[in-house]
Structure formats: structure tokens, C-alpha cells
A and B are shown apart, each in its own frame.
Chain A
Amino acid sequence: MAAPTAVVDAPATFTKLATRRVITNQASSVVVWLAFLLALVPLIWVVWTVVGNGISAVLNSAWWSQSLSGLLAQEEGGGVYHAIFGTLVQGLICAVIATPIGIMVAIYLVEYGAKTRLARTVTFMIDILTGVPSIVAALFIFSVWIAVFGFPRSAFAVSLALVLLMLPVVVRSTEEMLKIVPDDLREASYALGVPKWKTIMRVVIPTALSGMLTGIMLALARVMGETAPVLILVAYAPFINTNVFGGNMASLPLLMTVERNNPTDAGFDRIWGAAVTLILIITLFQLLATFLARLTRVKTS
């Protein structure tokens, strides 16, 4: 039989996978995995240390329901109810101020300002504000609110400093969420004879709401752990203070820094217990953010 020699001699269309590419691929995979594990080490280490040292204090029911009022520094027992209260109150006031302002700024930037000079200036200012360290925000509020206006140190002053830190994050995340709402939807609404403001309120914001809420909750979770503002703008109190405009008020970061001067076992337990509590609260907020996002997400079926 005449073998079709031409076929045998024809150069193959596909060449074998080059050894070099195989090695590069494997090496890259190893590097990526190593980087991932390396990043995991400090995370696990931190959680291990904090939980290991603080869990005993947190498991005591008094921890959540009592303050440290009337206890001596070396006395075991009591709780951080007052500090949890302070952290939540300061965070809440901050959110109440920063959220509406932040959302309105973002709406201006995306829906009205577009590429005007004012919008570009605002964006630039927000960028600068994003980079301001918390200690600078705290000192600024101290110099304006307390030194110039003469108000006393208070939880409210802390909230004002937190607003400076939270605001740019809210503006940025809301801006991104509004930008990804398709222009088709705005046009569809205009074409129905709906005014612009109503289009924003009833079409654009509901579409972006899920992402906006996530951004706000994450920003809030971040500022609640801030230490510099509470160190400068309010003094520690071992009891509950419901007056946000005056008097001393504890918060979890502040309690931790105060108890560092307490060399006894009781102080040690309180520092680590407060750390666990703070991590728990922030995790809770992040879970709440995920939950709210899921609840308000745009559904297709």
C-alpha cells in the first residue's frame, strides 16, 4: 500500500507545551500560595492571641451588664458595659452626621457636578481627607471645637472627629455605587416625564442602595475602633455617662489604653477582654452589612 508519506512528513500544527512555560506556571502558583499563607499568619496569630487572652473575661455575664464603677484597679470583676455603650453612642452620632452629608456629596458629584470645577475641587478635598491620620482629625476638632469655640471635652467632640474620618469613605463608596447605576435607567425615567430629583430618589438610589449600605456599615465599623480621637477629646470614666455633650465617657479603645497603666491581673484581663469585645462588635457590624446588602439587593427572579 502506498503510504501517504506527505502526511507523515507534514510539520505538526501543534508543538508540545514548552517546559519553560510549565515551570513558570508551577513556580507562580507556589509564590501566590505562599503569599496567601504569609498574609494569613499575622491574622490567625492576632485572633489567637486576643481570643486566647480575652475569652475568659468575655464569658463572664457581668462583663456585658456591669460597668467598672466602684471597683479598685486591682479588683477582679465588673464589666465593660459603659465602654460598649460609649463606643456605640459615639459611632452612632458619627454615622447620623456623616451618612446624610456623605450621600448628598456623592449625589452632587455623580448626578449634578459631573465635570464642573466645583466637583473636581470637592473630589480633590475628599481625597485629601481620606489621607488625614486620625490623630490630625482629633487635634483639628480639639483646636476648633474645644480651643476656639470653648466647648468642653465630650463624646460629641469624639463623634465630630470620627465624622472627618468616616465622611470621605462614605462619599467614595456611595459615589462608586451611584456611578454603576446604568444611565439607561435615568433616561427611562426622564422619558416618562419624571423630574430629575425624583429619578434620583426613586430609581437611582434604590438601585444602588445595597452597595451604599455596605459601604456605610464598613466605614462605621472602621471608625469605631479609632483610638486617637478618644484619647484627645474625652476623658475616661469607669461608669456610664449618658450626657454626650459633657463629662467623661468610656469607650473600648479608651478603656484599653487606660487599663494599660494597671499592672495587675485584673487590668490584663480587661485589656484583652475589651479587645475581643471590640473585634466582636466590628464583626457584628460587618455581618449586618452583608445581611442588609443581601436584603436590599436587586432581584431578578
Chain B
Amino acid sequence: MAKRLDLKDVDIFYGKFQAVAGVSLSVPPRAVTAFIGPSGCGKSTVLRALNRMHEVIPGARVEGKVLLDSEDIYGPGIDPVEVRRTIGMVFQRPNPFPTMSVRDNVVAGLKLQGARNKHKLDEIAEKSLKRANLWNEVKDRLQKPGGGLSGGQQQRLCIARAIAVQPDVLLMDEPCSALDPISTLAIEDLISEIKKEYTIVIVTHNMQQAARVSDQTGFFNLRATGEPGRLVEIDDTEKIFSNPTEKATEDYISGRFG
């Protein structure tokens, strides 16, 4: 089910302001691609453009092409709602629905899309929670509110919720930045496991994390404040962290700036 993503000359604008310029890259299936770079370099913006989430902000628009297995997600007549069903997202802060139980949170996507079969939903909830390494911790409190879990559990709940709708691609926007090291480890393990079935793109501020979990790393940067962010280089994670082609990448990774 995992599909590949190809970006061709992607420019992203917020109104008149150009946030990102000329990004071209390929995201292979069943692998983790990490985006790193200093704050404001547009890596989260690129991530949100991959499932048209940036369209929530009025005035935001994308030029260029984003292809999911050669199908343009910005093509004419393509429904952004359907794009988001196919390309799921996990956010920086855990955001379970406060009015729903743990179980209802996991199957929220399916329920809100109209699924009714209670038995089947229970099955999917269990499967997704197991996949998210959360089942053992919550199996006795499935009917309790999702907001009652700890931060790390909530984030795994959100991952379970995202994979319950069976997307082809999973986007993660700094999924561990609000979590403690132990929860972070749990999520990283989870990422390594589910990459066998999904295409994963993760934005992170933590370079060790990028080195630990990703197969491919892209470094984003901007030349000066007010300039659009650009993709400096993208390569195998091992190469980026040991012998990057660009000097800017090496400076950033070795802590000389950013």
C-alpha cells in the first residue's frame, strides 16, 4: 500500500510571501525520510503541502507538482479531503479529541467518514492500538476519555488514529518535540516498525533523531531572513551525517550554526 511521493519544483506561498522555493525530491516507499533544518526554513511548510493541510490557512497556495505514484495531488478535480485520507498526518502536540473515548479516538477517522459496523471498528481499534504499541497500556480503559492519557500515550494514540484510516503515506511534524526521552524512544521504535508498511516523512529538530530513525535526510535552509526556504541537499542519512556534499549541511550538522 505504501506509495512514493515525488515533488517537482514546488514553490509555496502565504499570500504574497514566498515561504519555500524550488523544492524537488523523491520520497521512497517503505522508508523514513527526515527533513531537518533551522526554524523557519520551510520544512514543516513542505510537509503540510504534501497532504494539502496548508490550505487550512487562507491565502496559502502551492505551485509545482506533488505526485503520489505519478498522480498529481494538486491536479484539477482532486478533492483535498480524499488526499488527506490517503496521506495521514501526526502533529507536534498530541491532539486527541477530548469528547471521545480512547477507542472512539482511534476509529474517529473511520466513524466520521461514515463507518457504522461496531464489531469491525472494535477490531480495527485493537489492531491499530497494537500497531502503535499502546494496546497493553490502554486495553482496560478503552472507554475512558482520550485526554486522560499521558503525553507520550496521547501521541501514540494519535499515531494509532492516523494509521486506523490506512493511509498510504504518514507525515509526522516533530512528533516527539513535546515528549520526554522515554516516550520519544517509544515513538521512534514505533516508526522503525511501521515503516515496513508505510511511506513516512518526518520533520524533526533533533538531528540525532533524524540519524536514528531515517533512511534518507533532507536539509532545508534559507539564505537570509525574508528569503524563501530551499532544499539544500537530500541524500542517504548515513551520507548526510558523515560526508555531506554541501558545506552548509556540514556546518549545520556539526553545530557551527543553526
Q: Which residues of A contact B (CB under 8 A)?
A: 114, 182, 184-195, 198-199, 202-203, 206-207, 298-301
Chain B 72-106 interface 0/1 with A at a Cβ cutoff of 8 Å (1 = within): 00000000011011101101010111110000000
Number of A-B contacts (CB under 8 A): 83
Q: Which of B132-140, B141-149, B190-198, B240-248 contacts A (4 or more CB under 8 A)?
A: B141-149
Q: A187-B53, A192-B85, A198-B112 are in contact. Are A300 and B148 (CB under 8 A)?
A: yes
Cβ A300 vs Cβ B145 within 8 A? yes
Using an 8 Å CB-CB cutoff, how does the interface string of B41-79 with A read, 1 for contact, 0 for none?
A: 000000000010100101000000000000000000000
Contact of A300 among B108, B112, B147 (CB under 8 A): B147
Separation of A301 and B162 alpha carbons in the complex (Å): 23
Q: A185-B97, A193-B82 are in contact. Are A301 and B112 (CB under 8 A)?
A: no
Question: How many residues on chain B are close to A (CB under 8 Å)?
Answer: 30
**Contact yes or no, B113 A193, CB < 8 A:** yes
Q: Would you mind naming 19 contact pairs between A and B with Cβ atoms under 8 Å apart? A: A114-B58, A182-B95, A185-B98, A187-B95, A188-B158, A188-B161, A190-B53, A190-B81, A190-B84, A191-B89, A191-B91, A193-B109, A194-B109, A198-B112, A202-B112, A207-B98, A207-B99, A298-B99, A299-B147
User: CA of A195 to CA of B82 in the docked complex: distance in angstroms?
Assistant: 9
Task: Point out the residue from B97, B144, B162 that lies within 8 Å of A203, measured CB to CB.
Answer: B97
Interface residue ranges of B95-127 to A (CB < 8 Å): 95-99, 108-109, 112-113
Which of these, B56, B84, B147, contacts A192 with CB under 8 Å? B84
CA distance A213 to B161 in the complex (A): 29
B93 and A184 contact, CB distance less than 8 A:
yes
Q: Which of A187, A192, A298 contacts B165 (CB 8 A)?
A: A192
Closest 4 CB pairs of A and B: A193-B85, A192-B109, A191-B89, A184-B95
> Which residues on B sit within 8 Å (CB–CB) of A195?
81
> Within the assembled complex, what's the spacing in Å between the Cα atoms of A27 and B153?
51
Question: How far is A185 from B105 in the complex, measured between Cα atoms in Å?
Answer: 11
Q: Residue on A with the closest CB to B81? A: A195
- Please, which residue of chain B has its CB at the minimum distance from the CB of A189? B112
Contact between B95 and A188, CB atoms less than 8 A apart: yes
B144 contacts across to A, CB distance below 8 A: 301
Measured CB to CB, the residues of B under 8 A from A are: 51, 53, 56, 58, 81-82, 84-86, 88-89, 91, 93, 95-99, 108-109, 112-113, 144-145, 147-148, 158, 161-162, 165
- CB A9 to nearest CB in B, in angstroms, measures 48
Binding site secondary structure of chain A: helix
B112 & A191 in contact (Cβ 8 Å cutoff): no
Contact of A186 among B56, B112, B145 (CB under 8 A): B56
Which residue on chain B has the smallest CB distance to residue A114? B58
How close is A185's CB to chain B, nearest CB, in angstroms? Answer: 6
B112 touches A192 (CB 8 A): yes
Chain B residues near A206: list those with CB within 8 A: 99
Q: Tell me which of A184, A191, A192 has the highest count of chain B C-beta atoms within 10 A of its own C-beta.
A: A191
Do A193 and B99 have beta carbons less than 8 Å apart?
A: no
Chain A residues with CB under 8 Å of B161's CB are: 188, 192
Interface centre among A185, A187, A188, A190 (most CB of B within 10 A): A188
Enumerate chain B residues within 8 angstroms of A301, measured Cβ to Cβ. 144-145, 148
Give the distance in Å from the alpha carbon of A182 to the alpha carbon of B95 in the complex.
Answer: 9
B contact residues around A184 at 8 Å (CB): 91, 93, 95
Report the minimal beta-carbon distance from B203 to chain A, rounded to whole angstroms.
14
Q: How many Å lie between the Cα of A192 and that of B93 in the bound state? A: 16
Chain A residue contacts of B97, Cβ below 8 A: 185, 188-189, 203, 207
Q: Are A191 and B99 in contact (CB under 8 A)?
A: no
A142 and B58 alpha carbons, distance in the complex (Å) = 43
| A156–chain B nearest beta-carbon distance, Å | 36
Q: How far is the CB of A76 from chain B (nearest CB, A)?
A: 54
Given contacts A203-B97, A300-B147, contact A193 B158 (CB under 8 A): no
CB-CB nearest in chain B for A116: B58
Q: Is the CB of B56 within 8 A of A187?
A: yes
Q: Is B148 within 8 A of A298, CB to CB?
A: no
**A193-B82, A194-B112 as given contacts; A300 in contact with B91, CB under 8 Å:** no
Given A190-B56, A193-B109, A194-B109, check contact A298 B147 (CB 8 Å).
yes
Q: How far is the CA of A191 from the CA of B56 in the complex (A)?
A: 11
A193 touches B165 (CB 8 A): yes
With CB as the reference atom, state the residue of chain B lying closest to A181: B98
Complex Cα distance, B192 from A232, in Å, reads 74
B53 and A194 contacting across the interface, CB-CB below 8 Å: no
The CB with the most chain B CB atoms within 10 A, among A189, A193, A299, is that of A193
A193 touches B84 (CB 8 A): yes
A114 and B56 CA atoms in complex are apart in Å by 12
B145 cross-chain contacts in A, Cβ below 8 A: 298-301
